[in-house]
Structure formats: structure tokens, C-alpha cells
Amino acid sequence: MVQVLIARHIPEAGIEKLQNAGLELVYIGDRQLSKKELIEKLKEYNPDALVCLLTDTIDKEVLSSAPNLKICSTYSVGFGHIDLEATKELGIVVTHTPGVLTETVAEHTAGLICAATQRIVEADKFTRAGKYKGWEPELLLGLDLKGKTLGVLGAGRIGTRVAEIMHHGFGMRIIYHDVAENNYLHDTVDADFYPELEKMLPNVDVLTVHVPLMPSTKHLLDKNKLLMLKKGAVFVNTSRGKVVVESDLVDVLESGHLFAVALDVYEFEPEITKKLFELPNTVLTPHIASASKETRDKMAEMVADNIIAFFNGESPKNQVKL
């Protein structure tokens, strides 16, 4: 019987699919495993398939501890936590969950942009603290979005959807940087492409980050680049924390160069630079941009579908190209 090790419980929709397909599920824990614990579980069960999460480090040492392992299905669209060289060498197929979370992450990003520019979190704290003593002409002044420029760093599925929402819904002008032009963005929101990131940044009022984590994007944004943004710009990141040097971001925010920062991801998550808690102009969410009930169910189903297809001798739909 095919054995699937589930590194941590995922929504029931996926678990049921795997069970109904007649696969044997082993270890469904309810907490994050350390690398050592994951290796122990893999050695104990030597499963045929592994369901992992973006919080697991899937390197050669982990993968080699289960010689039977044939497929690793991550419950995430990002796969920067998986060593693809090692999976290639060991002949292990990797699948992920693209597409289903695009809308949810884009909506969360739009929410963060609004929260940061309208100072919603700060205003909420102010009101709850009993500080609201009556209408004031200059209380908690924020920024309008209409007519401002949204810089999209990474114009893939999510970046594109954020651009559409912010252009059609809020009247923002869209510019973007990526390794290639995105014709759809030109046609739908009249976006301008900047082949050089350094040339785009000085034109940006709100920067939204949507690149995957890869060697070429790690620490792509450091102090120099952040200081290239317009003074008073807003910085938003719902992709991966390691794309930004977090200490540089804090310095630039503290220097007064940025109006606000809104983050769903952190360089050393779950650790977060303390200063980000202390500064008033930050909006911080705990890596929940894709966390709607519908989307998380769909992601779990995709994880299951990919594994089931593989053991039925078909190519899984969402195989990562190695």
C-alpha cells in the first residue's frame, strides 16, 4: 500500500481525498516538526510520498532519509524551501499549489495597501485606547491612492491580479519590473515595463513585492534600493521575507523615508524584528495572505490530487519543472 507521510495536518478536504483514494496516511501531527523530527519520522515510516509545508526545510539530508520517497507535494505555491537540485538527483517529483491562492493573496495585498495608506491599524489602536475626543481637521492623515503609481515587483499571477485590483478599483497607475514583459498587463491596465529595477523604484508611490524566493531574488531589496523609492512611499510584501533585508527596511522606515510598511512575511519568520512592533506606521500580519477557508481547502485538495495522479501513473498537474 502506498504510504503518505503528512508533516503537519492540512485541511480535511485534502486528507479525505487521499484516504478515499486508498492511500495509507502516516503521521498527521498538529504542530511544526523540527528538521531532526522530520528526519526521524521519514526514517521510521520510509513513505512513498511526503506532504510538506513551506515551514519545512526539505534538503538532501531530509530527502535521503526515506529511500522509498518518490514524490514531495508541498502545501504552498512557493517552493523555495525545497532543494530542487537534491530532488532532481534523487529522482523525486515535486508538486506545489499554484493558481488557487492568487485571488486570496491579491485581496490580502490590497487590504494591506489600504491599511497602510489609510493608517487603519494605527487609527484602530488610537480609538480603542480611548483617545478619540472628537473630530479633528488633521487627525491621522493618510494618503490617497487614485492617480498614484503602484510598482509591482514580480508580475506573475499574483502581481498581475494586484495590479488589476489597484488599477480598476482604485485608479492607480501601474508600472512593473520582472525578468520578462507581461503583455496581459499592458493590455488590461496599460502598465509600463521597467527592465531595470533601479529605474522603476524612483517612480513608485506604493511598492508591492511578488517575486518568488530564488538565489537571484534573495535580498534583492537592500538599503540602497529602498532609498531609491520616492520619499513617502509605502512598502508592501506578501511574497517571501528573505527578498528584503529586514534590518535595512527598518532603518529606512525609521529614517522617515517611507510613509508606512505592510508585511505578511518576514526574513527570519516566525521571528520579527522588534522595531517593527514599536514603529507606529507598520501593519503586520502573520503569513496569512492565502488563508481563506476556500483557498486553504483548495490547496489541500491540490496536494492530494497531485499525489493521487502520480500513483495512478499520470503526470501530476502541478509538477515543479526541475
| Catalytically annotated residues | 240, 269, 287
Question: CB 43 → ligand DGY: shortest distance, Å?
Answer: 27
- Comparison of 76 and 109: residue with beta carbon closer to ligand DGY: 76
- Picking from 176, 180, 162, 146, the residue whose alpha carbon sits closest to that of residue 110 is 162
Q: Residue written as cell 472628537? A: 134
- Comparison of 74 and 87: residue with beta carbon closer to ligand DGY: 74
> What part of residues 281-300 is at the interface with ligand DGY (CB under 6 A)?
290
Q: Does 23 bind ligand DGY (CB under 6 A)?
A: no
Question: CB 80 → ligand DGY: shortest distance, Å?
Answer: 8
Question: CB 287 → ligand DGY: shortest distance, Å?
Answer: 6
Q: Is the dihedral of CA 105, 109, 115, 118 positive or negative?
A: negative
Give percent helix, percent strand, percent coil of the chain, each to the nearest 5. 40, 15, 45
Question: CB 29 → ligand DGY: shortest distance, Å?
Answer: 19
> What part of residues 107-146 is at the interface with ligand DGY (CB under 6 A)?
none
Reading the block at residue 26, the C-alpha cell is 502516516
Distance CA 52, CA 41 (A): 12
Span from 19-27, 74-82, 247-255, 272-280 in contact with ligand DGY (CB under 6 A): 74-82
Cα 223 to Cα 106, 162, 178, 214, 259: the distances in Å are 26, 25, 20, 19, 16
- Picking from 198, 246, 195, the residue whose alpha carbon sits closest to that of residue 218 is 246
Span from 38-46, 55-63, 72-80, 312-320 in contact with ligand DGY (CB under 6 A): 72-80
What one-character DSSP code corresponds to residue 274? Answer: H
Q: Does 77 bind ligand DGY (CB under 6 A)?
A: yes
Q: Which residues pair with 4 in a beta bridge?
A: 25, 49
Q: Which residue type, as a one-letter code, is found at position 121?
A: V
Q: Does 54 bind ligand DGY (CB under 6 A)?
A: yes
Question: CB 82 → ligand DGY: shortest distance, Å?
Answer: 11
Span from 10-18, 26-34, 75-83, 119-127 in contact with ligand DGY (CB under 6 A): 75-83
The pattern of x and - marking residues 226 through 265 that bind ligand DGY according to CB under 6 A reads ----------------------------------------
Residues in the chain: 322
- Comparison of 4 and 82: residue with beta carbon closer to ligand DGY: 82
- Comparison of 76 and 95: residue with beta carbon closer to ligand DGY: 76
Alpha-carbon 172 to chain mean position = 23
Cα 52 to Cα 6, 78, 165, 285: the distances in Å are 7, 12, 31, 22
Q: Considering all CA atoms of the chain, what is the largest pairwise distance in Å, rounded to the nearest integer?
A: 70
Whether the link from the prior residue into 286 is cis, omega within 30° of 0, is: no
- The H or E element containing residue 314 is none
- Comparison of 77 and 260: residue with beta carbon closer to ligand DGY: 77
- Comparison of 3 and 97: residue with beta carbon closer to ligand DGY: 97
Q: Which of 37, 46, 70, 78 binds ligand DGY (CB under 6 A)?
A: 78
List residues near ligand DGY by CB under 6 A: 54, 76-78, 101, 290
